Every structure is written in structure tokens, then in C-alpha cells.
A = this chain, B = another copy of it.
Amino acid sequence: MSYKVAVLPGDGIGPEVMESALKVLNRIEEKFGFKMELIFGLIGGSAYDETGSPLPEETKKICLGADAVLLGSIGGPKWDGLPPEKTPELGGLLALRKMLKLYANLRPAVIYEELRAMSPLSERVLRDKVDILTVRELAHGIYFGEPKELTDTMGLDTMVYTSDQVERIVRKGFEAAQKRGKKLCSVDKANVLSSSKLWRRVVTELAHEYPDVELSHMYVDNAAMQLMLNPLQFDVIVTSNLFGDILSDESAAICGSLGMLPSASLGEEISLFEPSGGSAPDIAGKGIANPIAQILSLAMMLEYSFDLNEAAAAIRSAVDDCVKSGIRTGDILSAGMTAVSTKEMADAIISRI
């Protein structure tokens, strides 16, 4: 088995939290007796500043030659005024997604018992543990559908899915549900959209192959409402690119801080792993960012790309234990606690592995 990882720290807090994650990886390698080959590349605004491109050729090569990509974060106000294809988001992240044909974005939203008070939701709503996995289609739909047109007086986008595209992502949803709470909620707008009608039809046909999974369908407007009213009803949500963009952010909001939430974007051969949160330019360089999302993204990489499930579990339980022990960066602090630095958090996690 080859362990070649493209490491793209990116912008803002990316480099700091990546450094922490790589220290954790070091400890894991020691403990589990393997060694990964890390190749570093530039991406985002910092890549643009250095090379004139948010996704330089060199980075493309590095990624295409790797088994997995570990990304920090990208973007910041400094680069907001650039033409679209030069921005960290479009020219960097979206172009990379496209190049790697990343088709399934997995975003867990989990509230740690000890961090419940961080959630904007009331205790009545959070009477049990929120643990939602959004499986978002990432390679098609209205993000990439043709035609796309923009004139002085008209703007047009095309939301299109084929049954094969839907089948592939929906199977990921069913499979994820089988490994978790065995409940899958497919979200669409089938009362209005043709692409959603196709989506619902494919989901309904596939359901027979997964008799152990309890399937439900929900309209996207209702899903946006239900995530707020009663998030505990959800286990796995599977949905299209645009709806997944919206609902996975709403689910993340339930947890209060994005500093804890990792994500995986699966491709056919190469998958990408990154924190759900942004580059947090306001606190970048201060050494106070929460590295947990990056460290849990590393854990997802070990699990999804390399089947190193025990190693992933070791990271997760070390993180759990830190949170339980009241070790907190500023973003997840409660009254009466003292904030630790990015490095201290990483060290605390490492010492528990």
C-alpha cells in the first residue's frame, strides 16, 4: 500500500492547524508503525500571491500523483476582489474538486456532550446527542450544469442530473447509513423540480437493495426547518450539490463552532480532506486557532483513503478525551476556563494517543 499524501496548508489559519495535524500524524505513525510520504503544495490566495494562480500547475501535479489530499483552508478578504477564476474559492477549491472529480462530500455534524452550551439550540431540542452526516453530491448539479450564461440583462444556470450521477451518490448515502444509525433522509424539491423528480425516483428504486436502512424523503424547505426544530430525527442526509451546500452549513451551525468539524470529499481514486470551517483571517497567525477540525480531517483521511481505522479511532478518542478534560481553545471556551493555544491543544491530543 502506498501512502502518498498531498499536503496543502492554504491560507489564514490553514498553515497553523496543518502543522498541528502533521504532528498528530507523526505520533500515529510511530504508534501504528507506518510512514506516510508528504508532498507540500500551494493553494488559494497564498498560491496566487506567489505564482499568480490559486491552483498552480505544480500543485495539480502533486495532487494527481498522490493517494489523498489533506487541505487546510483557503480564502480571505485580501483576495475577494479578484476575477472569479483567480479567487481561492473558484479558481482554487472548486477547480481542484473538478480536477479530482470529487463527487461525494461527507460532512459530519456532531455535538460533544461537554460542548452543548455552544449550540444555538435550546436544551429542550438537544435532549440527546446530535450526530448528523450530510452526504452531498459534489461534482454535478447546478454548480457545473451547462449552459451557464451571464449577459448584461440575464443570468442563467442549469440544474441537471443523470440517473447514474444520482445513483453513485445515493449509494454512498445508503452505505454510510448502514455503518451508522441505519436511517437515510433523501432531500429534494420533487414537488417542483424535474431534477429532483429524477433524484427521488432513483432513490426509491435503490431502496430495495438496502432493506436494512429506513428511508425517508423530505423537501428541502422542510429539511431546513426540521434541522432547527428537531435535529435529533436525522442520521444520514443525502442530497444534491446546492441543497447539500446549504443544509450542511445549517447542520454545522447546530454545533456552534466550526472549529470541530472535519469533512471528506471522495473521488474515484484520490479523495480530499479538509476542515468544514473557513480560513478565519481574523485570528490567523496568532497561534490560537482550534486545530481539532484539521486533526479530525486527518482521521477521516486515514479511514476513508487508507483503511487505517484503528489509527483514525485513536485520534478520535484522544480528541474526545481532551474535550472531556476541559482542554479548550478560545472558540470552545466556557466560563471559568483558560484557553490553550493551537500547539497546546495538539500536544494534549498527542499525549493521549
Q: Given A159-B156, A224-B253, A249-B225, A89–B191 Cβ distance below 8 Å?
A: yes
Q: Which of A90, A149, A162, A228 counts the most B-chain CB atoms under 10 A from its CB?
A: A228
Residues in B whose Cβ lies below 8 Å from that of A120: 121-122, 124-125, 228-230
Residue-wise, chain A 116-127 has the 8 Å CB interface mask toward B (1 for contact) of 000111111100
Q: Is the CB of B156 within 8 A of A242?
A: no
CB distance from A100 to the nearest CB of B (A): 18
Residues in B whose Cβ lies below 8 Å from that of A162: 153-154
Listed stretches A194-202, A288-296, A306-314; interface member: A194-202
Residues in B whose Cβ lies below 8 Å from that of A227: 250
Q: Is the CB of B158 within 8 A of A158?
A: yes
Q: Is the CB of A225 within 8 A of B252?
A: yes
Residues in B whose Cβ lies below 8 Å from that of A245: 189, 220-221
From A193, which residue of chain B is reached at the shortest CB distance? B157
Residue-wise, chain A 79-100 has the 8 Å CB interface mask toward B (1 for contact) of 0000010010110001000000
CA distance A161 to B149 in the complex (A): 11
Residues in B whose Cβ lies below 8 Å from that of A149: 194
CB distance from A32 to the nearest CB of B (A): 36
Tell me whether A215 is interfacial, beta carbon within 8 Å.
no
Residues in B whose Cβ lies below 8 Å from that of A143: 192
Tell me whether A247 is interfacial, beta carbon within 8 Å.
yes
Interface residues of A in 198-239 (CB under 8 A from B): 198-199, 220-222, 224-230
Interchain CB contact (< 8 A) of A191 among B90, B148, B153, B199: B90
Q: Is the CB of B198 within 8 A of A242?
A: no
Q: Is the CB of A221 within 8 A of B194?
A: no
CB distance from A120 to the nearest CB of B (A): 5
From A254, which residue of chain B is reached at the shortest CB distance? B228
Interchain CB contact (< 8 A) of A250 among B125, B148, B150, B250: B250
**Taking beta carbons and an 8 Å cutoff, which residues of A are in contact with B?**
84, 87, 89-90, 94, 119-125, 142-143, 145, 148-150, 152-164, 189, 191-199, 220-222, 224-230, 242, 245-250, 252-254, 256
| 21 examples of A-B residue contacts, CB within 8 angstroms | A87-B191, A120-B124, A120-B125, A120-B228, A120-B229, A122-B122, A149-B194, A150-B197, A155-B193, A155-B194, A155-B196, A157-B159, A157-B160, A157-B193, A224-B246, A224-B247, A224-B253, A225-B249, A225-B252, A226-B253, A228-B250
